[in-house]
Structure 1
Amino acid sequence: MEQSMRYSALGSPTSSKIKPSDNNPTTRPKLRWLMMSGNANLLSSKRICTSIEEQSESIWRSTVDALEKSGMTAHDIVKVTQYLKFEEHIPLYSAIREKYLKGARPASTLLIVPHLDPSSKLVDVEIIAAKDDLEFSTKQ
C-alpha cells in the first residue's frame, strides 16, 4: 500500500491522496498569502480601548474583516503569534480568540511581553494566512 503525503503551507505533512511528486513546486497549487501585524483600528481610533476585552475584540474583529476582504476565513490562518502584556489576561483573551477562530486550529504562539509599545496596548496579534490559488479563484 502506497502512502502519500502532502505538505501544507508551512511544510508540515498532512495526509492526502496526492502523490509525493505533487509537492514539486512546479506542480503544487500556488498559494495566496496574507500577513498581518498590529492593529490599525486600535491605534488610529480617537479613543484607545483600555480593557483587554475591548482590545482583543477590536483586534480579532479587524483580523476577520481583513481576511474576508481578502477572500479568506479564519480557517485559512496557518500561524498566529499573540503578545499579551499581562499573564492574567490569558483566559479572557483566549475566550475572545476562540470566538473569532470558530474552531480553526492554526499553529499558535502566545508570549507575555510586559513592555508592549505603546504603553496602553495590552495585546498584539500577528497572523499568517494562506489559501490555495485554485480554491481562491473558484469562490470569487
Structure 2
Amino acid sequence: MTKFSNPGTMPMPASNYVQMVETTGPGRRLIISGQIGVAANGEVSQGYEAQAEQAWRNALAGLEAAGMGLSDIIAIRVYDVAPGNVAAYRQIRDRMLQGHAPASTYVIVAGLASPDFLTEIEVEAFAVD
C-alpha cells in the first residue's frame, strides 16, 4: 500500500507534489535511471522544454515496460542546468503526471553527462502485487 501525504507539521509543497510517501506490504520497487532528452533512436531534443518532455516520455516508457502506471510513481528527482526553467518544468511535469503528485526533488546542477543535456529526470515507483 502507498500513502501520499502532506502532514500539517511540515510546510505545504510549493507546487504539485507531496512531502511524504510511505509504502508498506509486499510489492515491487522500480527505480528508473536518470532520463535525458534523447529519443530511443539517439536523437537529442533541442531546447529545454523539448528535452524535458522527451525525458518524461522515456521515464514513462520505463514505467510501462515494468507494468506500472502513473499512480505507482512515488518519487521523482530532477536535475536541471539552468535555474530559470522551474516554471516550465512544473508545467511539463503536471501535464505528464495528469494530476498525480508524488514526492519531488528539483536540483540545479553545474552540468550533466554532456553539455548538450539540459535536464535529467529519475523516477521511483512502487506497485503492490
Q: Same fold (TM over 0.5)?
A: yes
5+ residue gaps, structure 1, are: 1-5, 15-22, 134-140
Give the greater-gyration-radius structure (CA).
1
Q: 1:121 aligns with which of 117, 121, 128?
A: 117
| Count of residues in Structure 1 that have an aligned counterpart in Structure 2 | 114
Runs of 4+ in 1 over 3 A off after TM superposition: 6-9, 43-47
Q: Identify, as 1 or 2, the structure richer in strand.
A: 2
Inter-CA distance 13–48: structure 2 relative to 1 (3 Å threshold)? closer
Write the deviation string for residues 55-85 of structure 1: whole angstroms up to 9, x where unpaired.
1111111211221221211111111110011
Q: In 2, Cα distance between the equivalents of 1:87 and 1:40?
A: 17
Write the deviation string for residues 4-59 of structure 1: whole angstroms up to 9, x where unpaired.
xx8759xx687xxxxxxxx9xxxx63111110112277176443222111111111
Asked if the contact 2:81/2:118 (under 8 Å) is kept, the reply is: yes
- The answer to whether structure 1 residue 58 and structure 2 residue 38 are counterparts is no
SS in 2 for 1:66: helix
- The answer to whether structure 1 residue 30 and structure 2 residue 26 are counterparts is yes
5+ residue gaps, structure 2, are: 5-19
Q: Which residue of 2 aligns with 1:3?
A: none
Inter-CA distance 40–90: structure 2 relative to 1 (3 Å threshold)? closer
Q: Which residue of 2 aligns with 1:17?
A: none
Q: Identify, as 1 or 2, the structure richer in helix.
A: 1
CA RMSD of aligned residues (A): 2.7
- The answer to whether structure 1 residue 95 and structure 2 residue 91 are counterparts is yes
Q: Normalised by the size of structure 1, how large is the TM-score?
A: 0.70
Asked if the contact 2:83/2:108 (under 8 Å) is kept, the reply is: yes
Between stretches 53-62 and 64-73, larger displacement belongs to: 64-73
Percent identity over the alignment is 28
Q: Which has the higher contact order (CA 8 A, sep 6+)?
A: 2
Asked if the contact 2:48/2:118 (under 8 Å) is kept, the reply is: yes
Q: Which residue of 2 aligns with 1:83?
A: 79
Q: Normalised by the size of structure 2, how large is the TM-score?
A: 0.75
